[in-house]
Each structure stands twice: as structure tokens, then as C-alpha cells.
Amino acid sequence: MNAAHNEPDDEQDDAPRPTNHPEYVIRDHAVVRLWRNLPLWTREETPLPIERPQDFRCIRGRWFTDGVHVIVQAQQGAAIAREYYYRIEDADLATFTVLNERYARDAHQAYFITNRTIRTRSPHAFRPLDFERWYERDDGTLFTQMRPHEYYAVDQESIYMNGRRIAGSDGASAAGFEGGYAVDAQRVYYYGKPTDIDRDSFVTGPLDGRLRFTDRLGPINHGKRMTALEHRQIEEWNAFFQTRPHLQDYWWHRLRRRSDAPAVIYDGLRLAGLDAASFATHTFSYGAGWQTRGIACGDAHGIHWLHRYGEHNARLERISDQPVTALRELGMYYFTDGAVIFYSPNHYQTPTPLRRVAPERFRVLGEGWACDGSRAFYLGVEKKGVDAQRLHIDGGYAWDDARLFHDGAPLVVDVPHDRLVVPHDGFLRAGDKLFAGRRPISARRVHLPTLEFLSDDFARDAHKAYLIDYPGLTEIAGADAATFRAGGPGEASDARQRYDAKALRAGVAPDT
């Protein structure tokens, strides 16, 4: 009687039992995800331990529990997502609350979906940051509605982006905006990163079917301030400012006041929105007779970088609010507006401001190197661990007591750096070794003890004469080293004949 009665129970135990989520069932004392038809798996593709599978249920969205632990469905990647599960070992189930798909909290701490625990000092106040979302009704009128943000969250102390605390942020004064923006009392953040947007004048609103952002200094796009100088850009923003008369003294108002003034004509270009009375330009070059490296221009209201496209087309990009008269070139690649140091490699790249650099201490050392007190920079990038006070620059090489560089890249030699010698631009003597650029020259090819550089084009040792064909030395076949002498620019001779550097280089150049 008992055996006959138990048979159906065994069959019933073997049948999948549904949970409160349609994608998950209990089968053979395991929780199974139906689309994969496998027990829940970890990041390492091993079965996830579930203490009480019979009590498995969905709390909300991707957050679950087995009655003992919180179980979370996370993922790696976005375009191609790889899902996995993990347990939160110490969550307080009695107070555990799911806030949205990515955030949750209990009485003690908060959680982000990627298995990150947030040690908040005010867990009761932890929540997704609300933001104002714009909607359009059927009749075309607009309205707003507060929505919780997917990625931003706040407590009483800080703002969080994707579960990470934003250093220096203030949660008590936080507010959210559509498009990845958040603010506190001091700063504007774009997807969690502080920006130079002016917090006090930062505003947003719809215009022509898209959401616009601006501050007093200029319109904002993807977290960066744009330059609005052309008449068409002023016209694009007309409706935005005309419907907000409380906004005063923004870039739009200033440009509109100047837009009726005659345009500045420079080198055949019509530059609108600039003050002709205080307009000036500065041309950067690589040296006398060389190609122009870039042109900065401006007026009493700011400095702009001129991007030129052909003979009649150009674009101005604002780089400074300082008057153009403050612009001063410091040396190759570097200039200042009196407040900020800029690195400018060429005409088609916008100059890069160097952060936390004091203009009064900044010195250009040459060959792309510069220093600010104790810090060294190469082509606008700080070189960590370099003693700027002991940095020696010579012919593309730079070294202090500990590190050696060629064109900014580290080079290792086996002699003390106080014994390094640059006998010619692009060549380094390190003890009994000679380097051309970064490449060592074989002592079997060149007799280093007698090597001498005769000019920019020719060298010789006791046995051979060489064409300096950077980065190296090319033997001049048939030349008599004993009588080989350099003459005028690009010329040399020995007892038998004359040599022309240009012709020699053409002869050794690889086929093109």
C-alpha cells in the first residue's frame, strides 16, 4: 500500500517544477535556466552552488534568492553578452530591496549587478539618481517626467556611476539629466567623469527634435564644449534662448550682439563672430622656411585654433577664454595663453591643454621635451619617474641618472649615463657601443675608436668612408678613407673622385 502510494510521488519529483519566473524551473533538485537547459553557471562555467533550490524565486528582474543567499544574473560584454550567475554571501534578505536592474541595497550596504559591493555610509538613502526625461504628446506638445537612471546612483555622501564612487562628488546636492549628465553643487559629470562645464549656468532642453545642452561659454556635445561662432550656429539656437528669456549673457547673446558687425577677412577666409578691432593671428612653424605647423587667432574675447580645409573653407575651434594678446609661444610644440600650457603637434590637431601645469615654471628643453619644476614631459605627455632637474637632451636622446630615451621611447644601455656621448645628431656613443637611433651598429662594420663625423652627410674611420643615411652608416664603396674629406654642403672627395650625398642616397634607396 505504501509502495503503491509512493510511486506517483517519485514521478512527480522528477517532473520540472515551475518558479515565479517563466524562464526558470526546478529539476532534479537543481535550478535550470530553460533557454540553455542547464543548471545555473558561474563566470567560470561551473555549476553555481544553490543551498535550497526548492525555495528559488525571482525577487525582481535579474535578482533572485534561494531563501539563504541573493543570486544575481550578471553578464560580460554588451554587443556580445556572456551571462553568468553569482551569490551574494552576506546580503540581509530581510531588508534586501531591488532598486532597478543594476542596483540593490539592504540595511547595511548597496550592490551593483556586476558583483560589486558598495560600502555606503547611508544605505537607507542609497537609490538610483532621478532625472527629468522629455516626452512628446500626440499633439506635439512636450512634457517631462522624472525617471530613475540606469547607471547613476546616489547616497547622502556621493554619486556613483556603474557602482563606482565618483571621487569628490556630493550626493546630497546631486541631480540627474538625460544623456549621461549628472551634477552636484560644484561640478557637471558626463558618464561619471568630471567636466569643465560651468555648473551654475548648465541648462538643457529640447530643440528641433533633440535634446540640447549648454552653459554660458558654449553649447555642449558629448560632454565637451563646442565653439559656436558661425552665423548658422547662432540661428540654430534662436528658439532655445528666445523661449528662455531668464537666461542672460550666454555665448548666444554675446555672439548675436556681434553677428551684425562686419566679418573679419583673413587670408581670403570670412571669420564671423570675431571683433575686428582686436583681431590678431599667430602662426606656428617648424622653423624658418618650413611648413606652417598651425595658426591661432582670436580677439579680446578668446583664442581659437584655425582648421583650414582648402582655399575657402575653415573652422574655428575655441581653445581659450583669454584675449589673443596673452598668447605666447614657448618653444617647439608648446605655447601658453598665460593661464594654461598647450601642446600643439601640427595644424590639423587641436592643441592639447596640459593639466595641473604652472606656466610660470614651465620650460621647453628641446626635441619635444619640456619640464614643469620636477616633472618632465615629452610631446605633451608626462614621463613618470624622470628627474627633470637632471634631464640632458641631445640629438633626439634624453637621459637622467636612471633612464635613457630615444624619441621619447626607453633605451637600455650597460654603461653609466654620465658616460653617454652624442657624436652626431641621431647617433649615441655608449662605452664601446654605437647606436643609430635605437639600433646598435656592429663593431665589425665600423671601427669605433677612429670613427669621426665629418659633416651632416659623411663620416669615416681608419678603414672606410660612410654616407650618413639615417638611421645608420652606409659604406661608400671604393672610397679611400685616408684621403676622404668633406667639402661644401652635401659634398665630399678623396684622392680619386668627388661624392654627392644626394646621388649616393638615391643609389642606396630601396625600390619603391
Residue 7, number of CB atoms within 10 A of its CB: 9
Could you read off the pLDDT tens digit of each residue along the chain, which spans 512 residues? Answer: 444 444 444 444 568 999 999 999 999 889 999 988 999 999 999 999 999 999 999 999 999 999 999 999 998 877 778 899 999 999 999 999 999 999 999 999 999 999 999 999 999 999 999 998 888 888 878 888 999 999 999 999 999 999 999 999 999 999 999 999 999 999 999 999 999 999 999 999 998 878 999 999 889 989 988 754 555 667 888 899 999 999 999 988 877 776 666 778 888 888 877 888 899 999 998 766 566 789 999 999 899 999 887 777 788 888 998 999 999 999 999 999 999 999 998 888 899 999 889 899 999 999 999 999 889 999 999 999 999 999 999 989 999 999 999 999 999 999 999 999 999 999 999 999 999 999 999 988 999 999 999 999 999 999 999 999 877 899 999 999 999 999 999 999 999 999 999 999 987 655 43
Backbone angle region of 403, left / alpha / beta, with phi > 0 → left and psi within -120 to 50 → alpha:
beta
**CA–CA dist 426, 472 (Å, integer):** 9
- Residue 55 counted as domain residue: yes
- Residue 289 counted as domain residue: yes
Phi first, then psi: what are they for 326, rounded to 5°?
-80, -10
- Residue 466 counted as domain residue: yes
Q: What is the pLDDT of residue 499?
A: 96
Q: What is the pLDDT of residue 274?
A: 84
- Residue 433 counted as domain residue: yes
Domain finish residue from 51, 74, 89: 89
Query: How many Å separate Cα 185 from the centre of its chain?
Result: 26
| Residue among 158, 151, 149 nearest 177 (CA) | 149
For residue 364 the three cell numbers come to: 621647453
**CA–CA dist 54, 131 (Å, integer):** 40
**Which string of DSSP letters, residue by residue, matches 76-108?**
E-SSS-EEEEEEETT--TTT-EE-SSSEEE-SS
- Residue 475 counted as domain residue: yes
Domain finish residue from 89, 109, 141: 89
- Residue 236 counted as domain residue: no
- Counting the structural domains of the chain, the total is 3
Contact between 211 and 178 (Cβ < 8 Å)? yes
- Residue 208 counted as domain residue: no
For residue 101 the three cell numbers come to: 536592474
Domain finish residue from 354, 371, 386: 354
469 is in which domain, residue-wise?
415-508
**CA–CA dist 319, 296 (Å, integer):** 9
**First-last CA distance in the chain:** 96
**Which string of DSSP letters, residue by residue, matches 347-378?**
TTSPPEEETT--GGGEEEEETTEEEETTEEEE
| Residue among 272, 276, 215 nearest 247 (CA) | 215
Phi first, then psi: what are they for 480, rounded to 5°?
-95, 105
- Residue 383 counted as domain residue: no
